[in-house]
Chain A
Amino acid sequence: MATMTDSATNAKPAFSASYWRGLMLVALVLGVAWINLTRLSQEANAQNRTLYAPMTGFLAPDFTLSTTDGEQIRLSALRDTPVVVNFWATWCPPCRAEMPALERLWQQYDRGSLMVLGVDQGESAQVVEQFGRATVGTTFPLLLDSRLRVGALYGVRALPTTFFIDAQGRIQDIKIGGPLNIATLLEGAAKIVDD
């Protein structure tokens, strides 16, 4: 007797076909209402477009730093120009190794149609000048982040770290680690330079 009862119970599915069809109607009504209720407002959308954060898709946080020549460079003043920001230090072997590739990138884009900024982390102008200009022969601007303030703003936890920022000031790619070769740099540059 017990077996027959079990069998009869098992023969029925937990929910009937009409139950699922009814659930479809409920899901449709509730789903449409929920979608309408949770639409993304234009203000929220606009707010997202104007967020500054060190992440791909966001506007690059602004900074002003001095070059080794004493000139002040402000990132936001470079709007309309794609920018490659490379965080580095002379004591970091991969940073040293990728310096010639960054110089080639700078040369390839006519020393300015794509801006290359080398942001040194915490060293003196003399040390940076000696390595950058005398040893490697770089000609692109080398900036001094002596208090590591900009490094912290960009969440830099490893050197080198390279940000590719388009002409609208939006970060399009971040490459953590190195040394980057010229091909990899060109690949990043392709994302921020309009053909």
Chain B
Amino acid sequence: MLPVLTVAGLTIPTGPLALLLAYYVGTELGARALGRLAPRPGARQTHWQTAFANASLLALAAGLIGARLGYAVRFSSLYWQSPLLLLSPRPGALLPLPGLLAAGAAGMLFLARKDIGLWAIADATTVGVAGALVVFNLGRFLTGAAYGLPTELPWAVELWGVRRHPVQLYEAAALIVVVAFLWQRLPRAQTGETFWRFVVLDGVSVLVLDAFHATSPTWILGIRIPQVMALAALLAGLYVLSFYARRAETPTATGDPQPVSAPSR
């Protein structure tokens, strides 16, 4: 466990540092993915990449504001007493869900105004999010968050006197495979197909690997909620992919396969 890093006398908490790094990796990968999806290489490609980077910056700002406002609403009595707390630079006073919603909405609206198709945005964002999740899980491993069940396997890591599954590393490794697969298939994928592939692959990953978490939220009889949600996502993804397969099976007038990059991109 390494909850803080000491660099040149400065103490930096690992958790927020990993989040920043995850944001950077996600933005870079997403922008490059969107560039690969641009209908024509050259100026359009650069324009889309720049638009994605700008959108992610805007999403970050909107996300932070949304997360802080959400937190302020939750602890409204305190924020009425000290309104200046809204401007506090401390990262702890943030509520994730309102932040994610605000970030998603801001990023989508910005890109939609740049005339970039919704599914192209979803495909590129998916690749970026998958890459960011790799770093996020490495950060969780360093901080000891979302730790694993006890085990005697040789690669177990010791945490508070108990040897445990390094489940965060399992998840990071699975996501690296997912990113590599999505990236390799990106140019030949139909519009939106990358997104649904991610839904399926991440669904499988969560369904399998959440079993090694020691602290999953549960329903009755100890059923793990993330696994149920992952199974639902996996089934939905497979169902949608069957339609993509059917569309690809339908021959065009020339006998060629359906276009893999729809003009709406």
Contact = CB atoms under 8 A, between A and B. Distances in A.
Interface of A: 7-8, 10-13, 15-21, 23-24, 27-28, 31-32, 34-42, 44-45, 48, 51-53, 55, 155, 157-158, 173, 175-177, 183-184, 186-188, 190, 195
B184 interface: no
Given A27-B231, A39-B222, A51 B249 contact: no
A27 B241 contact: no
Contact of B249 (A12, A45, A183): A12
B223 interface: yes
B234 A35 contact: no
Pairs of residues from A and B, 4 with the lowest C-beta to C-beta distance, nearest first? A38-B211, A20-B242, A158-B11, A39-B222
B144 interface: yes
Given A183-B85, A186-B82, A40 B239 contact: no
Contact of B231 (A7, A35, A158): A35
Interface stretch (B18-26, B36-44, B86-94): B86-94
Interface of B: 1, 3-4, 6, 11, 13, 75, 77-78, 81-82, 84-85, 88, 90, 92-93, 143-145, 149, 160, 204, 207-208, 210-211, 214-216, 218, 221-224, 227-228, 231, 234-235, 238-239, 241-246, 248-249, 251, 255-257
Contacts, number: 132
Contacts of A35: 207, 223-224, 227-228, 231
A51 B221 CA distance: 21
A5 B28 CA distance: 39
B165 to A, nearest CB: 12
B88 A184 contact: yes
Nearest to A173: B92
A11 B257 contact: yes
Contacts of B218: 39-40, 45
A155 B160 CA distance: 11
A187 B85 contact: yes
A157 B3 contact: yes
Contacts of A24: 235, 238-239, 242
Contact of A11 (B93, B215, B251): B251
Nearest to B239: A24
B248 A7 contact: no
B248 A13 contact: yes
A177 B11 contact: yes
A7 B248 CA distance: 13
Nearest to A191: B75
A15 B78 contact: no
A15 B77 CA distance: 57
B75 A31 contact: no
Contacts of A176: 3-4, 11, 13
A124 to B, nearest CB: 25
B90 A175 contact: yes
Nearest to A186: B78
